[in-house]
């Protein structure tokens, strides 16, 4: 198992996969640690999470460099990711107890209520694109709820995975309660179906989600899946074009375009299509592609060579089917896994740029002749993670977002983002279940009815 610097293509480090016996020992120990951890009070658990947050902030610069090295994230974005991880730890340290408070229900019994009890050891299968945030947005609520946690991270961010384990242990959380497994993909099914694993959460591709759901389903284990997205951003004719373009460029380029909730398809009313495309292009061209360690860099390399090759194939296939390269779309020569800022116009159904998730700095432009057509195009996808709409008529835009767009997270005049205070997740092939907020912490608990006659 090797980690590769995507800015240079050079090997960083090689890791040995853990033996089956070592994995067995880790899972068994986690189960024992859970029995003690679940008995701790919320205040006791919160003290540990606050220490984790403190350590994250203290090591912010170091952790950002680690992300830049392993998966190419620009330093400023890496530091922002670490800050967000600290925030989610503090948020659940403060709110977990009230979220899981016993709920009394009036019935014909003398007493009836609902309790929320931890399930046990939860396996987290996490992706490389936000190597710290994806884990902590699961781990903070799971640990505060009283569960144990096992991390199987993407192989290309193994250094990040081991650093996360170190930080959590430094805060005083029992070592056996949270562990990182350094194993290859072929070992995952056996771990999912291990008797010590109570539930599974995965953030990743739709293909990976289907595999995990099937494997967990064979043994009837709870899963939460946050999968891919092809998020539509609708620009109505009365939108503030400059503000919308700035927001849309920001969303499309988050993490160098490698985000499930990044804007992917720009559905623009024909009355403002040319103006929006011109503004979007102008703002896009101001952005700098370069070494993620350089402070002026806005967009780093893609995380792996195969990911860049896949993206370029999608662009080429879309062009062969009639899309136009407005800018970019040519794979560069030289070291590193960089891809140019790209805009595809005349995007139609049947093209990868319309049908699939493009994971990189490529924007798909689609013209709509009416509001109804724009909504139809937005919903004409197998995905349903995020969506956004831009309009000066906030009441109308809010109605469309709340009632007509088919996605788990719908934003008005802003880009889709995850927030510890709000539930996050998708529908259709973008997955099921929710992370964050009240609903996130209740995913991995036993919602138990207690009735007394």
Identify the DSSP state of 259: -
Catalytic residue numbers, as ranges = 226, 260
Q: Which CATH superfamily is domain 2-227+428-452 in?
A: Aldehyde Dehydrogenase; Chain A, domain 1 (3.40.605.10)
Phi, psi of 235 (to 5 degrees): -115, 105
The pLDDT of residue 49 is: 98
Residue extent(s) of CATH 3.40.605.10 domains in the chain: 2-227+428-452
Please give the distance of CA 123 from its chain centroid, rounded to a whole number.
Answer: 16
As averages over each run of 10 residues, the pLDDT of the chain (453 residues) reads 96 97 98 98 98 98 98 98 98 98 97 98 98 98 98 98 98 98 97 98 97 98 97 98 98 97 98 98 97 96 98 98 98 95 98 98 98 98 98 98 98 98 98 98 98 97
Could you tell me if 123 and 95 are in contact, meaning their C-beta atoms sit under 8 angstroms apart? Answer: no
| Nearest C-alpha neighbor of 221 from the set 197, 188, 202, 191 | 197
The pLDDT of residue 441 is: 98
Residue extent(s) of CATH 3.40.309.10 domains in the chain: 231-412
The pLDDT of residue 69 is: 98
CA atoms 340, 352, 370, 403: torsion sign: negative
CATH fold of 231-412: Aldehyde Dehydrogenase; Chain A, domain 2 (3.40.309)
The pLDDT of residue 207 is: 96
The pLDDT of residue 355 is: 97
How many helices and strands (H and E) does the chain possess? 15, 18
The pLDDT of residue 35 is: 98
- In angstroms, the CA 315 to CA 343 distance is 10
The pLDDT of residue 335 is: 95
The pLDDT of residue 275 is: 98
The pLDDT of residue 212 is: 98
Could you tell me if 388 and 234 are in contact, meaning their C-beta atoms sit under 8 angstroms apart? Answer: yes
Q: At what angle do helices 133-144 and 158-170 cross, to 10 degrees?
A: 30
The pLDDT of residue 137 is: 98
């Amino acid at each position: 198992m090797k980690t590769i610097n995507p800015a240079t293509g050079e090997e960083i480090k090689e890791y040995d996969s853990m033996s089956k016996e070592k994995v067995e020992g880790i899972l068994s120990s986690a189960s024992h640690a859970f029995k003690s951890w679940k008995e701790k009070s919320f205040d006791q658990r919160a003290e540990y999470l606050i220490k984790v947050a403190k350590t994250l902030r203290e090591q912010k610069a170091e952790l950002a460099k680690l992300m830049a090295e392993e998966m190419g994230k620009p330093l400023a974005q890496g530091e922002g990711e670490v800050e967000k991880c600290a925030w989610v730890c503090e948020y659940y340290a403060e709110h977990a107890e009230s979220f899981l408070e016993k709920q009394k229900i009036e019935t014909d019994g003398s007493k009836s209520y609902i309790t929320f009890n931890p399930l046990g050891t939860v396996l987290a299968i996490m992706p490389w694109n936000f190597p710290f945030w994806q884990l902590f947005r699961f781990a903070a609520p799971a640990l505060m709820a009283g569960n144990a946690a096992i991390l199987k991270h993407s192989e290309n961010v193994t250094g990040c995975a081991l650093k996360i384990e170190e930080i959590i242990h430094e805060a005083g959380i029992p070592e056996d309660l949270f562990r990182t497994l350094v194993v290859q993909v072929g070992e995952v099914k056996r771990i999912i179906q291990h008797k010590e694993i109570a539930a599974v959460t995965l953030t990743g591709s739709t293909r990976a989600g289907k595999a995990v759901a099937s494997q967990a389903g064979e043994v009837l284990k709870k899963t939460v899946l946050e999968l891919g997205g092809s998020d539509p951003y609708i620009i109505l004719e009365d939108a503030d074009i400059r503000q919308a373009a700035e927001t849309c460029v920001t969303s499309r380029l988050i993490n160098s375009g490698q985000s499930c909730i990044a804007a992917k398809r720009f559905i623009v009313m024909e009355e403002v299509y040319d103006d929006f495309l011109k503004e979007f292009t102008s703002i896009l061209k101001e952005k700098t592609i370069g070494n993620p360690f350089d402070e002026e860099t806005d967009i780093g390399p893609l995380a792996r060579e195969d990911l860049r090759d896949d993206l370029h194939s999608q662009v080429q296939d879309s062009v062969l089917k009639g899309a136009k390269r407005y800018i970019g779309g040519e794979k560069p020569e030289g070291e590193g896994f960089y891809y140019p800022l790209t805009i595809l116009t005349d995007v139609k159904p049947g093209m990868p740029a319309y049908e699939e998730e493009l994971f990189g700095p490529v924007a798909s432009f689609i013209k709509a002749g009416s509001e109804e057509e724009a909504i139809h195009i937005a919903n004409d996808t197998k995905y349903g993670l995020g969506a956004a709409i831009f309009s000066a008529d906030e009441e109308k835009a809010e109605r469309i977002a709340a009632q007509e767009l088919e996605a788990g997270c719908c934003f008005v005049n802003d880009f889709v983002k995850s927030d510890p205070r709000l539930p996050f997740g998708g529908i259709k092939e973008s997955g099921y279940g929710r992370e964050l907020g009240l609903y996130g912490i209740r995913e991995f608990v036993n919602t138990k009815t207690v009735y007394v006659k």
